[in-house]
Structure 1
Amino acid sequence: MAMNRPGKSAIVLSSAPLQLILYLTGVYYVFYFLSTLGMLIYKSRVLSYPGDNLTLEVCLLFLMAGLEMLRLYSGMRGNLQEREGYVGINMVLTVPTVMLSVYFLIWQTYVLRADVIVNALLLSMYGLGGLLAFITLARFTSAYT
């Protein structure tokens, strides 16, 4: 339910499509994390993987997981509470997660076809989520200013 702010009616501005894409992205990210970690383990066993690169890529994957949890939390909380700040934080945190996904898509030591598929799907979800977050943020801002 919308929070009553001075001078505004109590209409619901939360976005159901944004909430759905955030939920689906969270569920998909669990699959993404496990599959990427599995592929890193596979590549380290089968291919001649430089040790420093493997350590870097595992650390980047865990960094991405932490950023993704913060991004999803702030997006869901901001959408449900109709708070511009949390939705803005979600949008800001989308940038480094997109960059990390692009790293795993293009710049990691070995890129398998499975890497391309899971990263392309994740990037498309980020794009849709970013667009919906922007629209929702615009609605919140116009309603509460």
Structure 2
Amino acid sequence: MNVCLTFEVLLYLNSYYFGLFAICEIGMNIVKEINHPLPTFKADFGILLIVCLLELVRLIIARKGNLTEKWWPVFIAVLFTLPSAFGIVYFIVWQSFVLRFEYIICAIQLILQATEIVFGVLCLLPICKTTEYY
């Protein structure tokens, strides 16, 4: 089984799922602000934008690193997964008003990120062993 191929498939799947996730989260935050105005809306929306930016950068770096078989972009992408996962945990646990649909899509995103961490680390092992010729 080629671990780097599995990692690439997970990144490809997450790139489409994260687009859906971001659109749904932005829409739900707007609907929550209209129906239940809370003073933490700006903080929640700011964290959502930071998570979106982090996840976008992470996916681009990981795909480029995996395709070129360089170890440092994959390592940085695995490290960027942690703050992104903490942001998604914020939406489940610490957000002031959470919808049931948010639980579902955040759980799916966390599962994707957890499997990407596992396969990213497994992908680093053969990449680090290859010799680079300049």
Per the alignment, residue 17 of structure 2 pairs with 28
Per the alignment, residue 55 of structure 1 pairs with 42
Give distance in 2, aligned partners of 1:28 and 1:131: 18
Q: Quick check: 2:62–2:77 contact (8 Å CA) kept in 1?
A: yes
Per the alignment, residue 26 of structure 2 pairs with 37
- Report the CA distance between 1:14 and its aligned residue: 7.4
**Cα RMSD over matched residues?**
1.5
What amino acid sits opposite 1:121 in the alignment?
I
Per the alignment, residue 141 of structure 1 pairs with 128
- Report the CA distance between 1:31 and its aligned residue: 0.7
- Report the CA distance between 1:87 and its aligned residue: 0.4
Q: Percent same amino acid at aligned positions? A: 26
Where in structure 2 are there 5+ consecutive unaligned residues?
Answer: none
- Report the CA distance between 1:97 and its aligned residue: 0.3
1:1-145 aligned at under 5 Å gives the runs 15-50=4-39, 53-144=40-131
1:31-76 Cα offsets, whole Å, 9 max, x none, are 11111111111111112422xx111111111111111111001110
Q: Quick check: 2:3–2:119 contact (8 Å CA) kept in 1?
A: no
Q: Give me the TM-score of the superposition, normalised by structure 1.
A: 0.86
| Higher share of residues assigned helix | 2
1:108-127 Cα offsets, whole Å, 9 max, x none, are 11011011000000000001
Q: Secondary structure at the match of 1:144?
A: coil
**Deviation above 4 Å: which 4+ runs of structure 1?**
none
What amino acid sits opposite 2:28 in the alignment?
M
Where in structure 1 are there 5+ consecutive unaligned residues?
Answer: 1-12
What amino acid sits opposite 1:69 in the alignment?
L
What amino acid sits opposite 1:70 in the alignment?
V
